[in-house]
C-alpha cells in the first residue's frame, strides 16, 4: 500500500483564527500565526510537514477556508 502524503492550504485572509482546525488535526500540523491578516486575526498556518491528508481540519473548519491535497508517495 502506498504512503499518502498531504498538504494543507489555508486562505489566511478569510481565516478568523478560531483554532478549531488545530484540535481536529491528529498530527499537530497547524498552529496559530503570531502575524495577523488584514482583518486583524491571527490566522492558522502549517507548522510542520507531517500532514497525512486526512482532511479533518478542513471538515471541522467552520468557515471552510482550508483545502487539503493528497498524493501517493
Could you tell me where the beta strands, DSSP code E, fall in 1-73? 4-10, 30-36, 42-46, 66-72
pLDDT for residue 30: 97
Cα 51 to Cα 44: distance, rounded to the nearest angstrom? 14
Q: Is the pLDDT of residue 2 over 70?
A: no
CATH classification (class only), 4-72: alpha beta
Radius of gyration of the chain (CA): 12
Kindly report, residue by residue over 13-60, the tens digit of the pLDDT. 999 999 999 999 999 999 999 999 999 999 999 999 899 999 999 999
Distance CA 13, CA 11 (A): 6
Domain ranges of the chain: 4-72
Best CA proximity match to 21, nearest among 41, 43, 49: 43
Taking 80 as the threshold, does the pLDDT of residue 73 lie above it?
A: no
Q: pLDDT value at position 3?
A: 79
Amino acid at each position: 500500500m502506498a504512503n499518502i502524503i498531504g498538504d494543507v492550504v489555508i486562505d489566511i485572509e478569510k481565516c478568523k483564527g478560531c483554532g478549531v482546525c488545530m484540535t481536529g488535526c491528529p498530527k499537530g500540523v497547524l498552529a496559530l500565526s503570531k502575524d495577523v491578516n488584514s482583518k486583524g486575526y491571527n490566522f492558522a498556518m502549517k507548522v510542520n510537514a507531517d500532514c497525512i491528508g486526512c482532511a479533518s481540519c478542513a471538515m471541522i473548519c467552520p468557515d471552510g477556508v482550508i483545502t487539503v491535497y493528497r498524493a501517493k508517495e
